[in-house]
Amino acid sequence: MNPTIACVVPCHNEEAAVGTVVRDLRSALPEADIYVYDNASTDRTVEVAREAGAIVREEHRKGKGNVIRRAFADVDADALLVIDGDDTYDASRAREMVDLLFDGPYDQVVGARRETVDGAYRAGHAVGNKLLTGAVRSLFGNEVTDMLSGYRVFSRRFVKSFPALSRQFETETEMTVHALNLRLPTAEVTVGYKGRPAGSESKLHTYRDGWRILKVILNLARRERPSLVHTVVAGLLVLTSTILGIPVIIDFVRTGAVPRFPTAILAAAIMTIATLVLLVGYVLESVMHMRQEQSRLVHLAYPAPRRSQRRAASEDADVSVTTP
What's the number of CA atoms in the CB half-sphere (13 Å) around residue 287?
A: 12
Contact indicator for 195, 117 with CB cutoff of 8 Å: yes
pLDDT at residue 310, as a whole number: 40
pLDDT in tens, 173-203: 889 989 988 899 999 999 998 876 766 565 5
CB atoms within 10 A of CB 156: 21
Q: How far apart are CA 37 and CA 58, in angstroms?
A: 5
57 near 12, Cβ under 8 Å? no
User: Kind and range of the H or E element at 274?
Assistant: helix 261-300
- The end-to-end CA distance of the chain, in Å, is 29
What is the model's pLDDT at position 133? 74
Phi-psi category of 305—alpha, beta or left, where left has phi over 0 and alpha has psi -120 to 50?
A: beta
The pLDDT, as a whole number, for residue 205 is 58
Question: Tens-digit pLDDT profile for the chain (324 aa)?
Answer: 789 999 999 999 999 999 999 999 999 999 999 999 999 999 999 999 999 999 999 999 999 999 999 999 999 999 999 999 999 999 999 999 999 999 999 999 999 988 766 555 555 556 666 777 777 777 777 677 888 899 999 999 999 999 888 888 788 888 998 998 889 999 999 999 887 676 656 556 556 666 777 777 777 778 778 888 899 999 999 999 999 999 989 888 888 887 888 899 999 999 999 999 999 999 998 988 888 888 888 888 898 888 764 454 444 444 333 233
pLDDT in tens, 103-151: 999 999 999 988 766 555 555 556 666 777 777 777 777 677 888 899 9
pTM for the model stands at 0.76
Buried/exposed 282-295: b ≥16 CB within 10 Å, e otherwise: eebbeebeeeeeeb
Q: Give the CA distances from residue 318 to residues 216, 303, 313, 321, in Å, rounded to whole numbers and listed in that order.
A: 47, 20, 9, 5
How far apart, in whole angstroms, are the C-alpha atoms of residue 67 and residue 8? 9
Per the prediction, the chain carries an average pLDDT of 85
Q: Give alpha helix (H) positions in 191-260.
A: 206-224, 226-255
**In degrees to the nearest 10, what's the CA dihedral of 242, 245, 251, 257?**
-150
**Nearest CA to 135 among 65, 214, 230, 235?**
214
Q: CA of 155: how far to CAs of 5, 48, 51, 81, 152, in Å?
A: 10, 29, 29, 9, 10
